[in-house]
Structure 1
Amino acid sequence: MEPKRPALPVTAAAAVAVLLLPLTACGGDASADGDGSTVTVTVGYQSRTINTVTAGTLLRSLGYFEKQLASLGDGVTYKVDWQDYATGAPITAQMTAGKIDIGSMGDFPLLINAARGKQLGKPTRMVSVTGYNLRGGLNTIVVPTGSSLASLKDLKGKKVSTSVGSAADGTLVRALRRAGLDPAEDIEKLNQQPAVGASALDSGSADALSQFVAWPGLLARQGKAKALYDGAQLNLPTFHGVTAVEDFAKKRPAVLEAFLKAQAQATAYLDAHPVAAAEKVAKATGLPAETVYLYNGAQGIATFDPAIRPQLVDALKEDVSVLKDAKLTGDVDVDAFVDDRYVKKALGPAEYAERLAATPPEPAGEVWPKGAHKSVPFASPDALLRHLAGHRDEVRAAYVPDATTGTLWFADQAVWVADGGRLLPFVAPETARAYLAGHGGARVVTYAEALERAS
């Protein structure tokens, strides 16, 4: 099917006169190989945080960065050292230690990256965005499939796993506050890496898990968890972005520009070939391709675009207070941290302006047939269900957008509501209950009943 984002050409930037720099390696204190004619660029990324794939996993698999570096024609041989991490925190630690030049991470870790860089005399700059969701749908709170917990208020006194300082932790804190709970007093927060938290949820040592992509979708796909809270209910943007060491950016602007051009190429590839991109990422990470597609597909939860939108910068400023309350940072000068000069130059001013003006269309449901290289879109949940009812053994995965937030979810994991002749999907019980409260006669039905009613 057609990608949900308009395909924008990757324009060539104007030729740049590059001053002759001493041929020392990137990566801070690292030294050049051999006689100094080889430069190593170190890139930190998170392979399983699939909202960063255009600056990490997918970009690496496509080889676009290496090709861009080879085309610089500056007489230097470039090597790229790709370093994979579970979260943004170790990437920041390596950047401030002079071991990583470019890194990608979520919005909250980006702020910590800015704060630590300034504190340790190794300032960094946010230079592009990878993927975003303007409502916050990239983070989800889930509970075990058989759990009786049905609302945020039910979390009072419970053990909730999250990664402190992450965007998922920010979602948890804000959601609990809106529900009238004190995040510091009313729950027992378990500060755990995503994989550890997933295991804790599965073993019963955690009652709920608040995490970022792709963990909630993965656990739902595996039948180990169900959504309790859709982060898009906050209606606050969340995103991942690219940060670069300021000294590296100043000394090697052509290298950074090459990276951002390559990122734009990877974004164009993902938009044009969403199924193939999902399968590439799945092969590299071990994640199910169906889960990758939930977030990165044609109608996926994430919109990929390297342009730094003003809404995302504003959201970053709002995030500072959450981290300050948690005593993870002090004040952060977001305006000084965000620097779109490099990505604007890489894309060209006209294309950059076009990207900022573009808006994703309304989300739609889609079916990924077995053996197919493209998904099939559906204009309504009813039409999608009718198709599923008649092709039950021919479908690899089916996805539907929440009727109120637009967050995509697996059709067989959604909360379904029958309202007269319509069937409406919701990611979490709370959004379904909110709809029921305003629509007399509507009721929750099982997925099996929804299929039967649609057939």
Structure 2
Amino acid sequence: MKNTAVAAAVVVLLAPLTACGGTAAAGGDGSTVTVTVGYQSKTINTVTAGTLLRSLGYFEKQLNSLGDGRTYKVDWQDYATGAPITAQMTAGKIDIGSMGDFPLLINAARGKQLNRPTRLVSVTGYNLRGGLNTIVTAPGSKLTSLKDLKGKKVSTSIGSAADGTLVRALQRAGIDPDQGVEKLNQQPAVGASALSAGSVDALSQFVAWPGLLAYQGKAQALYDGALLNLPTFHGVTAREDFAKSEPAVLEAFLKAQAQATDYLDAHPVTAAEKVAKATGLPAEVVYLYNGAHGISTFDPAVKPQLVAALKRDVPVLKAAKLTGDVDVDSFVDDRYVKKALGASYGKALSATPPPAASEAWPKGAGKTIAFKSPAQLLSYVSAHRDGIRAAYVPDATTGTLWFADKAVWVADGDRLLPFVAPATAHGYVLAHAGARVITYADALERAS
């Protein structure tokens, strides 16, 4: 996925590098150029620079339209995490890569350290409140709040944004993230297995793991990362030497990324199906994050809020001794995406996420149905119980989208309110006399 740990990065850096190489002329005559792109197919908030972009063929079409007399070949290299992408970039083997915010900072730090500087050139998926990261527990767990994690075993990926969410959330709950919990540094799949086996009490991970585990009935949410109200995002990084020597190629990539973004926005269900087919992830999970009202918003602009978030992330990585100081301002270089988008860049820069809405995805349908309120969605689901592929509702506090049947429901008079995590729901109940937590089945009955 999008995250990485320095230890893993070091191992990869020391391993033999066998990639096909970065931009290089084939046959020695300069007529054929290979552009190597590192991506993470299952990191579904990077799809506009990876999985979806590759399936649409937009980058290849942009390269073919350059008309510079050269023939281009794109070597798409799929990785599970950002660590090997960073390793290959700093070895000159990958030209363009995509990864999450914390790994991007490690990418910047490693590039500077090895005298192979990289630059953040665009953004893929983001959530301005931090909803892309979630802490989950096993189904039926007695843990209902962050305070319950004291003294417990928690799996995460050190150096990832999910780890950053865990650290910050524990600190806000008054728990020392180093001494108050036993933190295990594990890859997402390993942590998911550990949670199922009962060898850890909780798992803090990034998209799409929390949603996937919840959808599969293997986890329930404990903490919604959006409660931190700190942006988290994924971005595109390029080698500085590549950007300077092949600016037209990088611009072609960013134009193609913008096209893929437009496609995702115009055809969210079809895009989710494409990504699902390429990754093996359930389309219902992909849509939770990348849908019309999904947890993630896509546009390539490098927003000031996201740059500011990177700067706030640096101390977290420094405290964990994963990086030293990172000069974020010199790492960010939006000149290429500005040129690629032209007059539309200002619009992309000021774009805001769409308002949260409830959605139902009927079986066999090529589109979803949006509702003005969770209660209206429940009424529809109640009347079509055998015909619903998936139903989504936004958290009443944070707006984070979640599966309706996995949400914690609260009845407050005639209102039916969904929440991602139990602590948020209980907090609402305490603040509103007469409100109470109810089951999903009860919520459906009330809405019908």
Normalising by structure 1, we get a TM-score of: 0.93
Task: Tell me if 1:351 matches 2:344.
Answer: yes
Aligned residue pairs, count = 430
Task: Tell me if 1:169 matches 2:139.
Answer: no
Measure how far apart 1:206 and its partner are: 1.5
SS in 2 for 1:393: helix
* Superposition pairs of residues 11-410 of structure 1, within 5 angstroms: 27-28=21-22, 32-33=26-27, 35-348=29-342, 350-410=343-403
Code of the residue aligned with 2:151 in structure 1: it is: G
Question: Which one of 416, 426, 429 corresponds to residue 423 of structure 1?
Answer: 416
Code of the residue aligned with 2:396 in structure 1: it is: A
Code of the residue aligned with 1:127 in structure 2: it is: V
8 A Cα contact 1:129 1:305, kept in partner: yes
Measure how far apart 1:437 and its partner are: 1.8
Cα-Cα RMSD = 1.2
CA distance in 1, matches of 2:20, 2:273: 32
8 A Cα contact 1:200 1:206, kept in partner: yes
Percent of aligned pairs sharing the same letter = 82
- CA-to-partner distance for each residue in 1:243-275, whole Å, 9 max, x for gaps? 000000000000000000000000000000000
- CA-to-partner distance for each residue in 1:297-335, whole Å, 9 max, x for gaps? 001000000001000000000000000000000111101
CA distance in 2, matches of 1:252, 1:35: 17
Greater mean deviation of Cα atoms: 84-93 or 211-220? 84-93
Q: Which residue of 1 aligns with 2:4?
A: none
CA distance in 2, matches of 1:308, 1:105: 14
CA distance in 1, matches of 2:447, 2:219: 26
SS in 1 for 2:37: strand
Measure how far apart 1:169 and its partner are: 0.6
CA distance in 2, matches of 1:52, 1:430: 30
Unaligned runs of 5+ residues in structure 2 are 1-18
Task: Tell me if 1:445 matches 2:417.
Answer: no
Code of the residue aligned with 1:300 in structure 2: it is: G
Code of the residue aligned with 1:227 in structure 2: it is: A
- CA-to-partner distance for each residue in 1:350-372, whole Å, 9 max, x for gaps? 21111112222320000000000
CA distance in 1, matches of 2:88, 2:213: 30
CA distance in 2, matches of 1:33, 1:314: 45
Unaligned runs of 5+ residues in structure 1 are 1-24
Task: Tell me if 1:432 matches 2:430.
Answer: no
SS in 2 for 1:112: helix
Higher relative contact order (Cα pairs below 8 Å, separated by 6+ residues) = 1
Measure how far apart 1:447 and its partner are: 0.2
Segments ≥4 residues shifted beyond 2 Å: 25-36
Code of the residue aligned with 2:182 in structure 1: it is: E
- CA-to-partner distance for each residue in 1:194-242, whole Å, 9 max, x for gaps? 1111111111112111111000000000000000000000000000000
CA distance in 2, matches of 1:170, 1:66: 36
Greater mean deviation of Cα atoms: 112-121 or 196-205? 196-205
